[in-house]
Structure 1
């Protein structure tokens, strides 16, 4: 995950003399969260490379987008600021709000897993002052957790994934006027998804995947990235880790068996990859959900 101070929206807020950061944390898997207070300010976000979901926690009734001064915020209102979009905000009076920052790769995984669509043909649709009680509740649960405590940060990560999944299902739409060039054919993409899902407990090589599409490894890797939004090895690892999280949450398999079922060569390799992605060991993850 990009360091917080390199995320455009976070950095724009942090640079304001009026805004105060209450709390922030990386939540793993290309997700990060921040809780802010601000008042009497103006903020501009210019084509960030990440998506931002925000929820007004308190006040905000004097906040509006510069182009829409008649529409004002309020507690529990949600805003969606997609990657690549510009938005300009005026804050009159106080506001307390939560941000969830989402990498393009995490959005891509959601498009493939939940929508069976190529990420490049989808976009997160911009929204201002959206009413969504489910999402507002998830945000309030998210900020009630202590992100500095490892177990609670893992619970926060699970909540953040729920927020992202809901946004992908409800707020992602097809890009208008897009003409796709290159990439894999839809039947090849679906065939690869099914093959990877059914072989997560086995070694999956680039050559093996390329051969299923009758392509060279080099050409396949490029086409895969165009269609999936991330490289083959990164996609396979993400699917392995998601399966591992499900097994750890819902079952009692020894960690060594979880590692083998998810295609990791050893428990130590599994633990290292899991820690890199989620900032905690598999044992810590299981314990957090048992509590």
Structure 2
């Protein structure tokens, strides 16, 4: 059984973690790192990462990159920015890292996504488009069917 002080501390920690998650959602294009985010809520980086993962199912850096990729997808669908411009607009400092993470989450490189996405989403309401185009992490993707030899 948990004591009242421990339960109260857990609720305070959850409120702090929610504040950090909201900050990531707002400031995804800014240079954010786990140490700075942890300092902002007076936690060690390790403790902060573990607690964030327990609360939200993924580490803070993965959450940040998912937000950046979601925004990049929207910018690429517009079609008026190059992949490099989108990379820097969402706060990534390395085009290689951006492309690798984008491909991992979306399934195709950003240049291919940019080429294919605009006509495919034409006329779709933005609220539906957001749900349809949400990136899927590898752990969430359906497992491939087993092959019988």
Q: What interval of TM-score do these two structures reach, taking the shorter chain for normalisation?
A: 0.5 to 0.7
Gap change, CA 1:289 and 1:223, over 3 Å in 2: same
Q: Which residue of 2 aligns with 1:235?
A: 63
Secondary structure of the 2:111 match is: helix
The Cα RMSD (Å) is 2.3
Q: TM-score, normalised by structure 1?
A: 0.35
Map 1:27-176 to 2 at 5 A: none
Gap change, CA 1:183 and 1:206, over 3 Å in 2: farther
For 1:233 and 1:203, how far apart are their aligned partners in 2?
Answer: 11
Q: Which residue of 2 aligns with 1:225?
A: 53
Relative to total residues, which structure has the larger strand share, 1 or 2? 1
For 1:181 and 1:230, how far apart are their aligned partners in 2?
Answer: 21
Contact 1:192 1:209 in 2 (8 A): yes
Larger Cα Rg: Structure 1 or Structure 2?
A: 1
Q: Which residue of 1 aligns with 2:115?
A: 287
Contact 2:87 2:95 in 1 (8 A): yes
Structure 1 unaligned blocks of 5 or more: 1-178
Q: Which has the higher contact order (CA 8 A, sep 6+)?
A: 2
Q: How big is the shift at 1:204?
A: 1.3
Contact 1:210 1:220 in 2 (8 A): yes
Structure 2 unaligned blocks of 5 or more: 1-6, 120-149
Q: How big is the shift at 1:203?
A: 2.2
Contact 2:78 2:118 in 1 (8 A): no
- Report how many aligned residue pairs link the two structures: 113
- Which residue of 19, 41, 59 maps to 1:213? 41
Contact 2:79 2:118 in 1 (8 A): no
Contact 2:49 2:59 in 1 (8 A): yes
Secondary structure of the 1:185 match is: helix
Gap change, CA 1:186 and 1:273, over 3 Å in 2: same
Contact 2:79 2:114 in 1 (8 A): no
The answer to whether 1:273 aligns with 2:95 is no
Q: TM-score, normalised by structure 2?
A: 0.66
Q: How big is the shift at 1:183?
A: 7.3
Relative to total residues, which structure has the larger helix share, 1 or 2? 2
Secondary structure of the 1:197 match is: helix
Q: Which residue of 2 aligns with 1:68?
A: none
For 2:107 and 2:12, how far apart are their aligned partners in 1?
Answer: 33
The answer to whether 1:198 aligns with 2:38 is no
